[in-house]
C-alpha cells in the first residue's frame, strides 16, 4: 500500500518536472527553437490550432526560424498570430516563407529571463510539495482505517520526504543549468 503511494507520488512529481522543462523551452534564449511557437495559435478555417499544425516550422540556423504554410492564404494569418503573441518577435515574409530572426539578448533582458526561470522553478517545487502533502494524507488515511500502524506511517512519511527531496534537487539542477545557459549566450 505504501509502495503504491510512493510510486504514484514519484510519477506525479516527474510530471511536474516535465511541465517545468516545457516552460523552460518557452523561455527565449536568443537561439532559434521551434518550441518557441508551440503556444502560438493561428485561426485555420475557423479552428484555433498551433502554427506547427498549419505550416512546416524549421530552424534554419541558430538565429532563424523558417515557417512555410501549407496553403498560401495562411501566410497573413500566421504572421498576425506571431505578432499578437507575447514573444516580441517580428516575422519577415518573402513570398510564402515566413522567417523569424531572433534578436540578440541584452544583459538586462537575460537577468529578467533568469527571474522568470526561477519563478517557474518555484511553481514546480510547489507542485512537488503538493504531491508530498497528498501522499502523506493518503498514508494518514491508511492509519485511520487501521490498515497500517503508526511505525509504518512514520517510515512512509520519511520515504515520501526522501522522494520529495530528490525531485526538488532535480529542479534546482535544471534551474542552475538553464540560468548558466541564459547568462553565457
Please give the Cα distance from 88 to 81 (Å, whole number).
Answer: 11
> Is 38 found in the same domain as 91?
yes
> Is 175 found in the same domain as 130?
yes
Share of the chain above pLDDT 70, in %: 96
> Is 63 found in the same domain as 10?
no
Cβ atoms of residues 181 and 128 within 8 Å: no
Domain range for 18: 2-26+106-184
Please give the Cα distance from 132 to 130 (Å, whole number).
Answer: 5
CATH number assigned to the domain comprising residue 22: 1.10.132.20
pLDDT band at 185 (very low <50, low <70, confident <90, very high): low
Encode pLDDT of 106-128 as tens digits: 788 788 788 888 888 999 999 99
CA angle centred on 59, ends 54 and 60, rounded to 5°: 120
> Is 174 found in the same domain as 146?
yes
Please give the Cα distance from 72 to 60 (Å, whole number).
Answer: 20
> Is 8 found in the same domain as 45?
no
Domain boundary (47, 72, 101) is at 101
> Is 90 found in the same domain as 112?
no
CATH number assigned to the domain comprising residue 74: 3.30.1360.40
> Is 177 found in the same domain as 118?
yes
> Is 175 found in the same domain as 114?
yes
Sign of CA dihedral 174, 176, 179, 181: negative
pTM score over 0.95: no
Q: Taking residues 58-79, what's their average pLDDT?
A: 87
- In the predicted structure, residue 28 carries a pLDDT above the cut 70: no
> Is 79 found in the same domain as 94?
yes
Q: Taking residues 133-154, what's their average pLDDT?
A: 90
Q: Taking residues 88-92, what's their average pLDDT?
A: 81
Nearest to 42 by CA among 96, 10, 82, 13: 82
Residue 69 backbone dihedrals phi, psi, to 5 degrees: -65, 150
> Is 170 found in the same domain as 154?
yes
- In the predicted structure, residue 165 carries a pLDDT above the cut 70: yes
> Is 123 found in the same domain as 82?
no
- In the predicted structure, residue 30 carries a pLDDT above the cut 90: no
> Is 43 found in the same domain as 12?
no
Question: How many domains is the chain partitioned into structurally?
Answer: 2
Amino acid at each position: 500500500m505504501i509502495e503504491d503511494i510512493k510510486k504514484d507520488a514519484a510519477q506525479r512529481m516527474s510530471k511536474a518536472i516535465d511541465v517545468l522543462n516545457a516552460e523552460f523551452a518557452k523561455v527565449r534564449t536568443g537561439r532559434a527553437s521551434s518550441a518557441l511557437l508551440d503556444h502560438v495559435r493561428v485561426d485555420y478555417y475557423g479552428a484555433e490550432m498551433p502554427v506547427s499544425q498549419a505550416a512546416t516550422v524549421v530552424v534554419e540556423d541558430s538565429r532563424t526560424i523558417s515557417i512555410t504554410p501549407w496553403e498560401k492564404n495562411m501566410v497573413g494569418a500566421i504572421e498576425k498570430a506571431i505578432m499578437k503573441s507575447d514573444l516580441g518577435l517580428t516575422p519577415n515574409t518573402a513570398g510564402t516563407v515566413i522567417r523569424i530572426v531572433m534578436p540578440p539578448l541584452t544583459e538586462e533582458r537575460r537577468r529578467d529571463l533568469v527571474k522568470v526561470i526561477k519563478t517557474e522553478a518555484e511553481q514546480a517545487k510547489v507542485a512537488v510539495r503538493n504531491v508530498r502533502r497528498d501522499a502523506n494524507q493518503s498514508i494518514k488515511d491508511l492509519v485511520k482505517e487501521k490498515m497500517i500502524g503508526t511505525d509504518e506511517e512514520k517510515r512512509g512519511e520519511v520515504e515520501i520526504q526522501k522522494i520529495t527531496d530528490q525531485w526538488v534537487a532535480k529542479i534546482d539542477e535544471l534551474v542552475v543549468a538553464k540560468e548558466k545557459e541564459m547568462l553565457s549566450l
